[in-house]
């Protein structure tokens, strides 16, 4: 995937999550050089029982700017399940919430 991104240059920011050494190895193999920036997670603190379930968090945390609400994700999932919109349309709707919106 990284080799494909390097060749096709989609013009968007790409975030890769994982073990630092493994990510760097993948980047080296794709010919992308050193990691641009690095952040560490210290885990979740506080009243984590108030967090949305894992599947909602899995989507909302893809936006590094924390601008996609859990309620919107829930609504998009319902709409897709009920046939009111396609999964692609739901993804585009959610992407509009982020400051790094991708235009198509």
Predicted confidence at residue 13, as pLDDT, reads 76
Closest CA to 55 of 34, 84, 76: 76
Do 61 and 83 sit in the same domain of this protein? yes
In a domain, 101, yes or no: no
Contact criterion met (CB below 8 Å) for 94 and 80: no
DSSP state of 53: P
- Please say if the pLDDT value at position 104 is more than 70: no
Do 52 and 26 sit in the same domain of this protein? no
Predicted confidence at residue 71, as pLDDT, reads 96
| Domain containing residue 64 | 48-95
Total domain count, the chain: 2
Whose structure tokens read 């198509």?
A: 104
CA distance 13 to 36: 11
Mean of per-residue pLDDT scores for the chain: 86
Q: Which of 2-6, 21-25, 34-38, 86-90 has the highest mean pLDDT?
A: 86-90
Q: Which pLDDT band holds residue 45 (cuts at 50, 70, 90)?
A: confident
Region of poorest pLDDT, from 21-25, 56-60, 68-72, 99-103: 99-103
Mean pLDDT over 29-39 rounds to: 82
Do 14 and 52 sit in the same domain of this protein? no
In a domain, 103, yes or no: no
């Amino acid at each position: 995937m990284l080799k494909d991104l390097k060749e096709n240059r989609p013009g968007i920011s790409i975030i890769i999550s994982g073990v630092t050494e493994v990510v760097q190895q993948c980047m080296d193999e794709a010919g992308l050089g050193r990691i641009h920036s690095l952040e560490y997670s210290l885990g979740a603190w506080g009243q984590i029982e108030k967090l949305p379930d894992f599947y909602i968090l899995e989507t909302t945390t893809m936006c590094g700017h924390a601008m996609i609400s859990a309620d919107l994700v829930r609504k998009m999932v319902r709409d897709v399940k009920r046939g009111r919109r396609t999964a692609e349309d739901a993804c585009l709707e959610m992407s509009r919430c982020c400051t790094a919106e991708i235009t198509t």
